[in-house]
Structure 1
Amino acid sequence: MKKILIAVLSGILVVIFLLGFVDIANEVPTQNKEVFTYSITTIPRELKAVGSLNKREQDIVCATSRGLVELDKDSKIVPSLAESVDVKEDGIEYDFKIRDNIYWSNGEKITAKDIANFFREVLAEEKEENITALLDVYGAKTFRSGEGIFTKDVGIQTAEDRITIRLNSKNTNFLNELSKPQYRVRKDLVLWEDISENFKNVVYSGEYSINSMDMSEIVLTRNSKADLNIVEAIHIIEDEGEELAMAAFEVGNRDIVVGPPKSQLTRLEEEGRLVTTNSDLAMYLAFNPNGSSLPMEGKKEIYSLINKAIGEYQLQNNILLELAEGSYFRDDKDDLAKLQARKVMSNTETKWKKVEEIVLIAEESAGNKELCNFLTQWFIDNSEISLTYKLINKSELGNLHNENYYNVALIQCEASLNNKKILYDKVINFLPKDYSKNLEDVKKEEEKNTMFTSMEENLFNTYSVLPLLFYNENIAISEKIKNVALDGNGNIYFDRLEK
């Protein structure tokens, strides 16, 4: 009996001993060793001027850099490098408390001074149109022009774990602007101008670092302080054309393909492998400001006809397009009273001496050619007026100041409610000369927005430039990927990807 008890006790001790090892093993985090492959159309060589990059090129910056605040997938402001933000003095001052567990890729802590130094570099290096939020900071414009000392004369001050930013005046959109990719914190910004040569000498604030880079591929690897659940490496590969990228996707060699072929969209959507999101790209109709080939009554009818044609085209391409319905900006479509008034105005029947033909021009592209062919046939089937078109290159489209050979132009343009000036800079060549007055003398952002709103109403009422449609962006997603999401700026959440 004694031997049996000894054996049982020995067994229990062995089990307890082994369980101790199991507990220890459970404490060791499991590392995700998966590799994520992402197809884009071009591999950028320069990543310094982030605001001038397209969304997919900006994704590289977003994967390797973090901002003070960011936008989540529901477009809500969330802290990132900052732990919290306290808005003071009725929206003039923003006090950010910096996290104590944020690190550069070399293991050094990211400090408030590091972030302030980044803002100083951005003021000196980034294009002015890309940093409207930072130029709202007290003293920023003066410093950018070469006057003053950053630490003394600019409203960005640091304490041990805080950075305080003071604006010239209240800007309710400041945090949203600060969430954009161009404000993702980077060190030694000048090295990003030729990132292909300097990536090994750069330290990164994000979840990933650039490990290697050539003409056709960038490889990002997870940093030592990053979440071990996210994929270990990201391969960003340049594919020559959507068909080639999609072929690689179908055999499992790509996890994400941006802009899959139009012919594949419905199938991908039915299979649950398509993410459709809003883009900032829009299309407008501009009437030739030179001469008087079309009276106001004619412009109204032509716009009404083209709008009807675009409506039918959108029904056939609803995954690709959304109707503007009178709105110049996608985010402004909730102003129903304004849009209803414009709809009534544009649908008012008027009499005029109709022309037999109108000539339309657009920038040369496969998408524009398809749309123009549709419009041409639609006018044959539904109107007494014939429509002919001419596709021209980008430089020609930007130099039409005195041309009279066309009646209307299709203009594609980035259009953001937060930066309306981009739209007006794009369409200035299609406006009467009195529109050429710029807004450089207007200091306050809210005053600019008020002026833009007035200009917008005038553009519509005079039938100078009118909204037609907004484009969607489509992304094919492998069924093996988990937690695929886009943030409120339309960039991929690489730091949440699992496979």
Structure 2
Amino acid sequence: MRKLICYILILSNLLFNGCVEKSVQGTKSEGTRNYVVYNIGKSPEDLIMLNNHDFRQQDLLINLFEGLVTSDEKGKIKPAIAESWSLNKDETCYTFKIRKTATWNNGEDITAEDFVTFFSQVLNKDRDNVYAKQLYCIFGAEDYKKGKGDFSNVAVRALDEKTLEIRLNYPCNYFLNILAEPIYSLRKINEDLVSWKKNYKNILYSGCYKIDNILDNGDARLKKNEEYWNNSSVKSEDIMVTFIDSSEASLAAFESSKIDIFTNPPISELSNLSASGKISKIPFYGIGTLVFNLRKEGVIQDSNLRKSISAAVSRKEISKEALNDTVKPATAYIPPNVSDGMNGQYLNKEIFTVEPEKAKALDLISKSKYENNKEELKLIYLDSVENKKICDTIAKQLRENLKLKVQCKGYSLEEFSQVIRENDYDIAKVNYESSYDYPPSFLERYTSESEMNLFGYKNAEFDTRVERAKREKDMVKKVQDLREAENILMDDMPIVPLYFTNSVICKKNNIDGIYTNKRGNIKLDKVYIKVEA
């Protein structure tokens, strides 16, 4: 049951809110503090962060630690602790040169051996790591993670103090995209990261900031890491990070100038915030979907019914009316502007319409086994204001366009997990999020062996196409496999994409320099308070 709940958390962007507002030291008038305050939301349990997909909490990782490479807001891979890298002729061996100026915050050199230790800890068989399979492209990594042998059999080696070699099983042109994710930021994985609010002074930091103090209310004061190799580019000496886990409480703190930056305000307040020029929408790799329960016998097994539901929904209405234009209608299984693994963009194919196709929907349902007024479909969702609005909108659309009878029911997380485990539903509204910037990462969760495929979809040809696309070196053949994989999903319709998600960032008008990586993680190294002349 616990494992199932874990995967439900991975699959879903939870919209639950807390109810406690925390105070922040400083004055209440905008522009009088000499440091920026960023509210990150729910406080992380630890700074290891390998056991969940909470990308917002990873904002701490990306500012306290740094990896071999990083990515900019357009997804281009940039040098980080590694000043350069080279690739052998068959594209299976990366050699990274660690900067001579790269040091921990205590002044000790960061070495290639530090990365060897880091990867051995990340892949340890006893480590709860939902990302581990990403690294199975490394020779020996899968066997080591499964407890077969020690790390000496894994092809991650320190050639000398400042040279790291990583050898792969096959050409993997998205390997750097994986390494650019915040979870691969270099840190010493130990008890200090587990009890970080207590042991923050013992932690070694490799990024642009370090934790200088934890306030009595749990907020964290970050201070510029003077030993960071690129510290001259860091704008602010101090940053305060707060942990208000409620959109309403965050907005109240924002309006009283207790915080300067926060994300995802209440949908009802977006118009006012937008009019004042205080919000921006940043795409990140999340997808709102309807998923069909293919482990359940009955009419939901009919692909014509599933296709008719896809054709009958108005993605435009869901995005514009239910979610106040905070998202973009999904016209494909893969979002736009995803990396092609070569510092370019994958050219996506639009396969869904934003408006309902009523004639097509009616033709499809006429070919299905569904009999009007004799069966009621159960649509479940994680209970939140937004999810209820979405599902009520969908039920209305299906009733009007197809005469379908749909019962919508919201559940708490544990109840939702129980309903899925017991197969007591027909359709589930679920949000997915890709864990790295590459097309197959959006499709592989639907493969038969995926631990995130909780809904019973199985197609051997689809599995083959996705796996082959991950390994294929020829870009033309890779795209062919991806296109065919999408065609298979279209024909089977186990899942209906509804919208691509955005991260809505609110900031005071006197705050400048905020930017994100392509996944939406907020970088604070360029943030500062503008002083008006």
Relative to structure 1, the CA distance from residue 438 to residue 218 in structure 2 (aligned partners, 3 Å threshold; closer, same or farther) is farther
TM-score (norm 1): 0.81
Moved more, 123-132 or 177-186: 123-132
Map of 1:76-95 to 2, 5 A cutoff?
76-95=76-95
Name the SS of the counterpart of 1:246 in structure 2: helix
Instruction: Quote the residue 2:111 is aligned against.
Output: 111
Q: Does 1:293 align with 2:321?
A: no
Relative to structure 1, the CA distance from residue 266 to residue 90 in structure 2 (aligned partners, 3 Å threshold; closer, same or farther) is farther
Q: Does 1:355 align with 2:372?
A: yes
Cα distance in 2, alignment partners of residues 433 and 444 from structure 1: 18
Answer yes or no: is the 8 Å Cα contact 1:65–1:184 preserved in 2: yes
Q: Does 1:486 align with 2:492?
A: no
The one-letter amino acid of 2:92's match is I
Relative to structure 1, the CA distance from residue 90 to residue 267 in structure 2 (aligned partners, 3 Å threshold; closer, same or farther) is farther
Relative to structure 1, the CA distance from residue 277 to residue 401 in structure 2 (aligned partners, 3 Å threshold; closer, same or farther) is closer
RMSD (Å), alpha carbons: 3.4
Instruction: Quote the residue 1:217 is aligned against.
Output: 219
Instruction: Quote the residue 2:342 is aligned against.
Output: none
TM-score (norm 2): 0.76
Cα distance in 2, alignment partners of residues 389 and 426 from structure 1: 26
Q: Does 1:375 align with 2:394?
A: yes
Q: Does 1:234 align with 2:259?
A: no
Map of 1:84-483 to 2, 5 A cutoff?
84-124=84-124, 126-148=127-149, 150=151, 154-213=155-214, 216-225=218-227, 226-227=231-232, 229-289=234-294, 290-293=296-299, 295-305=302-312, 307-308=313-314, 310-316=315-321, 317=323, 319-329=325-335, 334-336=347-349, 349-350=363-364, 351-352=366-367, 354-356=371-373, 357-379=376-398, 382=401, 384-400=403-419, 406-415=425-434, 417-419=439-441, 420-422=443-445, 425=450, 428-431=453-456, 445-446=470-471, 457-483=487-513
Answer yes or no: is the 8 Å Cα contact 2:319–2:329 preserved in 1: yes
Name the SS of the counterpart of 1:227 in structure 2: helix
Q: CA deviation at 1:318?
A: 5.5
Larger proportion of helix: 1
Cα distance in 2, alignment partners of residues 80 and 431 from structure 1: 41
Name the SS of the counterpart of 1:199 in structure 2: helix
Relative to structure 1, the CA distance from residue 126 to residue 234 in structure 2 (aligned partners, 3 Å threshold; closer, same or farther) is farther
Cα distance in 2, alignment partners of residues 204 and 320 from structure 1: 35
Name the SS of the counterpart of 1:164 in structure 2: strand
Answer yes or no: is the 8 Å Cα contact 2:332–2:350 preserved in 1: no
Moved more, 412-421 or 114-123: 412-421
| 1:454-475 deviation line (CA, Å, top 9, x unaligned) | 6654443123222222221101
The one-letter amino acid of 1:220's match is L
Relative to structure 1, the CA distance from residue 166 to residue 488 in structure 2 (aligned partners, 3 Å threshold; closer, same or farther) is same
Larger Rg: 1
Relative to structure 1, the CA distance from residue 444 to residue 144 in structure 2 (aligned partners, 3 Å threshold; closer, same or farther) is farther
Name the SS of the counterpart of 1:158 in structure 2: strand
Instruction: Quote the residue 1:26 is aligned against.
Output: none
Cα distance in 2, alignment partners of residues 201 and 402 from structure 1: 42
Q: Percent sequence identity over matched residues?
A: 26
Relative to structure 1, the CA distance from residue 395 to residue 379 in structure 2 (aligned partners, 3 Å threshold; closer, same or farther) is same
| 1:233-257 deviation line (CA, Å, top 9, x unaligned) | 2211122421221122122221111
Cα distance in 2, alignment partners of residues 48 and 404 from structure 1: 34
Moved more, 168-177 or 397-406: 397-406
The one-letter amino acid of 1:73's match is E
Cα distance in 1, alignment partners of residues 166 and 105 from structure 2: 26
Structure 2: runs of 5 or more not aligned: 1-32, 339-345, 473-477
Relative to structure 1, the CA distance from residue 110 to residue 299 in structure 2 (aligned partners, 3 Å threshold; closer, same or farther) is closer
Cα distance in 2, alignment partners of residues 338 and 303 from structure 1: 11
Structure 1: runs of 5 or more not aligned: 1-32
Relative to structure 1, the CA distance from residue 459 to residue 201 in structure 2 (aligned partners, 3 Å threshold; closer, same or farther) is same
Answer yes or no: is the 8 Å Cα contact 1:70–1:78 preserved in 2: yes
The one-letter amino acid of 1:460's match is M
Cα distance in 1, alignment partners of residues 203 and 255 from structure 2: 35
Relative to structure 1, the CA distance from residue 187 to residue 300 in structure 2 (aligned partners, 3 Å threshold; closer, same or farther) is closer
Relative to structure 1, the CA distance from residue 200 to residue 456 in structure 2 (aligned partners, 3 Å threshold; closer, same or farther) is same
Answer yes or no: is the 8 Å Cα contact 1:48–1:126 preserved in 2: no
Answer yes or no: is the 8 Å Cα contact 1:291–1:404 preserved in 2: no
Instruction: Quote the residue 2:475 is aligned against.
Output: none
Name the SS of the counterpart of 1:299 in structure 2: helix
Moved more, 165-174 or 83-92: 83-92
The one-letter amino acid of 1:325's match is T
Name the SS of the counterpart of 1:412 in structure 2: strand
Cα distance in 2, alignment partners of residues 329 and 193 from structure 1: 34
Cα distance in 2, alignment partners of residues 121 and 385 from structure 1: 51
Answer yes or no: is the 8 Å Cα contact 2:309–2:361 preserved in 1: no
Cα distance in 2, alignment partners of residues 254 and 428 from structure 1: 39
Relative to structure 1, the CA distance from residue 49 to residue 404 in structure 2 (aligned partners, 3 Å threshold; closer, same or farther) is closer
| 1:178-207 deviation line (CA, Å, top 9, x unaligned) | 101111011244431222232121111111
Name the SS of the counterpart of 1:89 in structure 2: coil
Moved more, 272-281 or 170-179: 272-281
Cα distance in 1, alignment partners of residues 350 and 503 from structure 2: 28
Name the SS of the counterpart of 1:413 in structure 2: strand
The one-letter amino acid of 1:349's match is D
Answer yes or no: is the 8 Å Cα contact 2:50–2:128 preserved in 1: no
The one-letter amino acid of 2:164's match is I
Answer yes or no: is the 8 Å Cα contact 1:319–1:472 preserved in 2: no
Name the SS of the counterpart of 2:45 in structure 1: coil
Answer yes or no: is the 8 Å Cα contact 2:37–2:261 preserved in 1: yes
Answer yes or no: is the 8 Å Cα contact 1:303–1:346 preserved in 2: no
Cα distance in 1, alignment partners of residues 417 and 334 from structure 2: 20
Cα distance in 2, alignment partners of residues 134 and 296 from structure 1: 35
Q: Does 1:68 align with 2:85?
A: no
Count of matched residue positions in the alignment of Structure 1 and Structure 2 = 460
Answer yes or no: is the 8 Å Cα contact 1:399–1:429 preserved in 2: no
Cα distance in 2, alignment partners of residues 52 and 287 from structure 1: 24
Q: CA deviation at 1:267?
A: 3.0
Relative to structure 1, the CA distance from residue 396 to residue 462 in structure 2 (aligned partners, 3 Å threshold; closer, same or farther) is farther
Name the SS of the counterpart of 2:241 in structure 1: strand
Instruction: Quote the residue 1:29 is aligned against.
Output: none
Name the SS of the counterpart of 2:47 in structure 1: coil
The one-letter amino acid of 1:91's match is E
Answer yes or no: is the 8 Å Cα contact 2:278–2:506 preserved in 1: yes
Name the SS of the counterpart of 1:479 in structure 2: coil
Q: CA deviation at 1:161?
A: 2.5
Q: CA deviation at 1:445?
A: 4.7
